[in-house]
């Protein structure tokens, strides 16, 4: 296992996961990226390399990133048999992506059909130090034979985009141990030059061969002896006419200058070391979250153009064909914040791309009959709209796509990205040279797009699509209208800033954009009178006009589905329902919390406003199969509402979207928005970072249960700050160090506890989660009899003392304990667990209300009268059966049992799951347990814990009682309050 959470490891190749793993193992360097296909190839693979900015025209979708020549191809013939995972037998297999160094490696122990066994170790990288340089290495070791091995390192002269041809071969050539290609795109005429050479540690000749047009490669043949390792290196250089005038010559010259792999590796590693020094997020106590955040940041960093300000990051990065390499609002809203605070030069490149494409935005506005600059919903190389107007639906019929026509909020999203970069960096030169013009000319567009409604005495924006794309052709979308208000105010402020600090630039733009006093007054009038559907009495914001009149669908009816609600109901039916594809009003509240403008919709102190809208819109959102843009935002806002467990669930949904393919579409490419969204969830959600005029600060951390440390760096106005949050005994300590000056700001336990923890009486308990066996009833005798019968049948000594050692363990863990750690085949384990359970179920059939333990029924009645929610949190898989036999099922609001979670006590999962079902935060729940493992699980979940049993059984329960006899809710509540324990998540390692 990778204990340092730096490696994504695959230990078995599954052809059914071929395309998902191609996405998963994508490597790149900010100039290009290559999907994780195999060097030797595989039937049905999507061998793909995309280079930033290399687009070509195509019908329907206007233009698309072009699949470039496959540089990986390496055919290996072992004693006359071609190596392939589809042939022979794979004896051992491991593929590993080293996130720290950006190296993809693969180890295969393969036996050919003829019986020859060979060990192959592949390694590839796209150099971060030299973005035009690529390399793949292969070490070959015969295990049980000596024989001839042949290697052919070729280049694919005719790559295609899933059947669509884009390249024309212009020239090709071979010389000694190298070969090269010169191609150009059929429509855009962008040229590409690629060259390769092969070296080998064996004493053998390496020759290049051109058999026919487009079929060239570099070959070698040698005799390998048993146990001898021969290493081959295929080096590749690639350039396009976007960088140089003669890309083929430049590629060949660059290839000739290559020195050695060790030199390349050192330079490549040095860049990665520097990047991770600035960008790494350290999470201790949660291996999955640690690996996931690093994986997301890795994929973002290899897609980010570090040396080119005329390209941007597409919705699927450079890793897949979905969305054709087009750029959306994903970049400015989800990705730019991460880069602005860690790699500001790269963030500037992405925003300069929008500046260079202003003319395209102006053309779009003019063609639609408006003034100023109107950014396209989907953008490519020119800034013109490239959203397809029609696509073919699942039924084979054409479907009209309206986003390119009326999803207008992207124009303000770009301005917002510019503003956020400026706030983070204080980059005055760039702002006056490029950023100001973006904000001002897009404001000109909005000034011409709004409509005055005389009857309502206000401005409106009609016929749009907001972030929630389930609803088209809506009027007065709250997100769009409120962001336009902000845009008008910000544009006026930016012009004022220019007039004071750069008067000549202000005059230039006033003339160029016709920024007359009348126009500026119009902007002010719009900001003051643009309609936002906000009810000040209830605090509820209506997503768009008429939204509350739509059919209110209960999404819980569709639990267990594996596709989106729109796919189930259809576009029109979904449009008529209150079903959200992604947060819309909640997205607005998230962006507004970052703004300095104190208005009713920008006051982050008004938690009631957020809670009201969260309670309404979150349950109407398709979290699982709607948009991947939503979960990270929900995670942040859940933290704002002190719903840490719920925040963690949303966070993991975003963080694992590609690693675990949670939406079933990772084969289409990396979810770019999630890569940046997960970072924002950690920094602005769990860490509680807020942006102030003097810089970022930690306001209220919400570290998930189990997170013992969170460490990251932020860059603010040229100064680098390290944030270190540690959780110890439920108290979070925050240290902030200015790395440039060495100055340390430490916020100690006492002060932070005062900030984070209200008094007990201010945070009343709202739920009680009972363990079942030993707490509400005593079925331990039946369990003992079941285990005893199984043990006797298996010939294992078992008595009541042995049974006591299994208290609180799951059925599986109990069985493993029973066998003393002896390895048991999975099938046998399952069979024995089923046998034991059948014995237990037979024994408990006579259970009734009379078997409730003393004090249980009165306590349940008191809880019910007090409005306290009740749940079962048990490792048992018979919880539903037992509560039914006891006659208390009607009093139970939720049951979380052995079927509900994968990890059992002492992991906190079963209690967190129960709290989630109750709709409560962990701090609002009390766990009642009779087992040490259960008490530990409750503490790890960040809940109050009442232990039933001897004191020595419980290390840290807040209250310990012998049992529930004569134990009233009032007594328990008083005992908990008397402990004065701070109810914060307690990390259990």
Residues annotated as catalytic are: 469
Is there a contact between 194 and 170 (Cβ–Cβ < 8 Å)?
no
CA dihedral (928, 930, 935, 937) positive or negative: negative
Q: Is 506 helix (H, G, I), strand (E, B) or coil?
A: helix
**Other Cβ atoms within 10 Å of 512 Cβ, number:** 11
Rounded Cα distance between 164 and 183, Å, is: 16
Other C-beta atoms closer than 10 Å to the C-beta of 227 total: 11
Sheet holding 167-175, edge to edge: 7-10, 89-98, 103-111, 117-126, 133-142, 230-240, 191-200, 178-185, 167-175
- Here the tokens at position 759 are 């008094």
8 Å CB contact between 807 and 762: no
Q: What is the dihedral of CA 881, 882, 888, 892, to 10 degrees?
A: -70
In whole angstroms, give the CA distance from residue 871 to residue 765.
Answer: 13
What is the Cα 164 distance to its own chain's centre? Answer: 31
Single out the residue of 256, 392, 281 nearest to residue 724, CA to CA: 281
- CA 229 to the chain's CA centroid: 40
Look up tokens 């099922």; give the residue.
889
Burial of 628: CB neighbours in 10 Å, binned 0-12, 13-18, 19+: buried
CA distances from 333 to 100, 157, 676 (A): 26, 38, 9
Per residue, the 3-state secondary structure of 58-119, as one string, reads ECCCEEEECCCCCCCCEEEEECCEECCCCCCEEEEEEEEEECCCCEEEEEEEEECCCCCEEE
Residues with Cβ within 8 Å of residue 743, at least 6 apart in sequence:
737
- Report H helices in 530-671: 565-569, 571-575, 585-592, 607-617, 630-640, 644-655
- From residue 220, alpha-carbon distances to 82, 651, 772 in Å are 14, 50, 69
Quick count: other Cβ atoms within 10 Å of Cβ 410?
A: 25
Q: Which two tokens stand for residue 960?
A: 């310990």
Which has the closest alpha carbon to 912: 549, 603, 643? 643
């Amino acid at each position: 296992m990778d204990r340092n959470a730096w490696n994504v490891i695959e230990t078995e190749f599954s052809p059914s996961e071929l395309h998902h793993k191609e996405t998963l193992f994508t490597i790149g360097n900010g100039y290009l990226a290559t999907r994780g296909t195999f060097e030797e190839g595989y039937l049905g693979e999507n061998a793909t390399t995309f280079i930033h900015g290399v687009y070509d025209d195509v019908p329907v979708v206007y233009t698309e990133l072009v699949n470039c020549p496959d540089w990986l191809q390496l055919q290996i013939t072992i004693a006359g048999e071609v190596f392939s995972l589809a042939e022979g037998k794979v004896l051992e297999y491991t593929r590993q992506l080293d996130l720290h160094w950006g190296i993809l490696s693969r180890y295969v122990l393969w036996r050919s059909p003829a019986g020859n066994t060979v060990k192959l170790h592949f390694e590839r990288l796209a150099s971060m130090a030299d973005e035009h340089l690529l390399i793949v290495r292969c070490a070959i070791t015969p295990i049980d034979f000596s024989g001839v091995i042949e290697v052919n390192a070729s280049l694919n002269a005719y790559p295609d985009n899933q059947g669509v041809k884009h390249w024309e071969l212009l020239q090709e050539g071979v010389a000694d141990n190298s070969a090269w290609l010169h191609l150009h795109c059929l429509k855009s005429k962008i040229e590409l030059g690629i060259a390769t050479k092969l070296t080998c540690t064996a004493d053998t000749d390496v020759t290049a061969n051109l058999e026919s047009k487009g079929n060239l490669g570099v070959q070698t043949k040698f005799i390998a002896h048993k146990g001898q390792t021969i290493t081959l290196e295929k080096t590749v250089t690639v350039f396009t006419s976007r960088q140089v005038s003669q890309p083929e010559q430049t590629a060949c010259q660059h290839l000739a200058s290559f020195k050695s792999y060790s030199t390349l590796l050192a330079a490549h590693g040095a860049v990665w070391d520097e990047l991770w020094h600035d960008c790494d997020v350290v999470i201790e106590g949660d291996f999955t979250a640690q690996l996931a955040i690093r994986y997301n940041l890795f994929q973002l960093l290899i897609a980010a153009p570090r040396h080119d300000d005329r390209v941007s990051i597409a919705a699927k990065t450079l890793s897949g064909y979905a969305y054709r390499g087009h750029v959306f609002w994903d970049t400015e809203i989800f990705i730019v914040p991460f880069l602005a605070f860690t790699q500001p030069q790269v963030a500037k490149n992405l925003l300069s791309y929008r500046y260079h494409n202003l003319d395209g935005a102006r053309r779009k506005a003019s063609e639609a009959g408006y003034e100023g600059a109107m950014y396209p919903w989907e953008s490519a190389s020119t800034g013109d709209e490239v959203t397809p107007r029609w696509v073919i639906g699942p039924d084979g019929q054409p479907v009209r796509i309206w986003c390119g026509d009326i999803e207008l909020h992207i124009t303000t999203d770009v301005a917002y990205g510019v503003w956020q970069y400026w706030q983070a960096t204080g980059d005055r030169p760039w702002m006056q040279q490029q950023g100001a013009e973006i904000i001002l000319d897009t404001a000109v567009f909005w000034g011409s797009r709004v409509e005055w409604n005389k009857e309502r005495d206000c401005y409106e924006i009609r016929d749009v699509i907001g972030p929630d794309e389930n609803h088209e052709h809506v009027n007065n979308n709250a997100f769009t209208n409120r962001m336009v208000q902000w845009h008008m105010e910000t544009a006026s402020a930016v012009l004022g800033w220019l007039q004071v600090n750069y008067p000549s630039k202000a005059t230039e733009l006033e003339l160029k954009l016709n920024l007359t006093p009348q126009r500026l007054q119009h902007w002010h009038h719009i900001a003051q009178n643009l309609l936002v559907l906000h009810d000040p009495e209830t605090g509820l914001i209506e997503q768009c006009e008429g939204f509350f009149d739509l059919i209110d669908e209960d999404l819980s009816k569709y639990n267990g589905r594996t596709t989106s609600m729109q796919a189930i109901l259809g576009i029109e039916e979904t449009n008529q329902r209150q079903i959200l594809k992604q947060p819309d009003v909640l997205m607005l509240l998230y962006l507004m919390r970052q703004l300095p403008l104190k208005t009713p919709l920008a006051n982050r102190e008004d938690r009631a406003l957020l809670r009201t809208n969260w309670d309404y819109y979150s349950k109407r959102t398709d979290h699982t199969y709607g948009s991947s843009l939503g979960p990270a935002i929900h995670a942040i806002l859940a933290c704002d509402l002190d719903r840490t467990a719920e925040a963690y669930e949303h966070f993991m949904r975003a963080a694992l979207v590609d690693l675990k393919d949670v939406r079933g579409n990772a084969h289409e490419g990396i979810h770019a928005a999630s890569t940046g969204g997960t970072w924002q969830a950690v920094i602005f959600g769990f860490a509680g970072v807020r942006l102030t005029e003097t810089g970022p600060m930690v306001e209220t951390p919400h570290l998930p249960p189990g997170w013992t440390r969170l460490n990251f760096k932020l860059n603010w106005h040229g100064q680098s700050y390290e944030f270190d949050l540690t959780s110890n005994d439920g108290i979070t300590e925050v240290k902030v160090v200015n790395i440039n000056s060495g100055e340390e700001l430490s916020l100690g336990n006492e002060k932070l506890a005062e900030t984070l923890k209200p008094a007990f009486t201010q945070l009343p308990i709202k739920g009680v989660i009972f363990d079942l066996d030993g707490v509400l009833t005593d079925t331990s005798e039946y369990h003992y009899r079941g285990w005893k019968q199984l043990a006797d049948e298996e010939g294992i000594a078992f008595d009541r003392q042995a049974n006591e050692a299994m208290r609180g363990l799951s059925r599986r863990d109990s069985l493993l304990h029973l066998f003393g750690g002896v390895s048991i085949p999975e099938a046998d384990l399952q069979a024995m667990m089923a046998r034991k359970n059948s014995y237990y179920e037979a024994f408990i059939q006579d259970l009734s209300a009379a078997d409730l333990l003393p004090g249980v029924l009165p306590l349940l009645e008191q809880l019910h009268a007090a409005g306290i929610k009740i749940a079962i949190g048990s490792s048992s898989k018979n919880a539903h059966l037992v509560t039914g036999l006891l006659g208390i099922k009607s009093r139970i609001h939720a049951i979380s049992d052995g079927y509900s979670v994968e990890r059992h006590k002492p992991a906190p999962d079963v209690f967190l799951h129960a709290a989630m079902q109750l709709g409560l935060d962990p701090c609002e729940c009390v766990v009642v347990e009779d087992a040490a493992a259960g008490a530990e699980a409750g503490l790890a979940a960040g809940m109050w814990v009442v232990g039933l049993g001897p004191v020595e059984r419980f290390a840290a329960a807040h209250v310990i009682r012998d049992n529930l006899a004569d134990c009233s809710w009032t007594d328990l509540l008083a005992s908990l309050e008397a402990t004065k324990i701070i109810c914060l998540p307690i990390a259990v390692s």
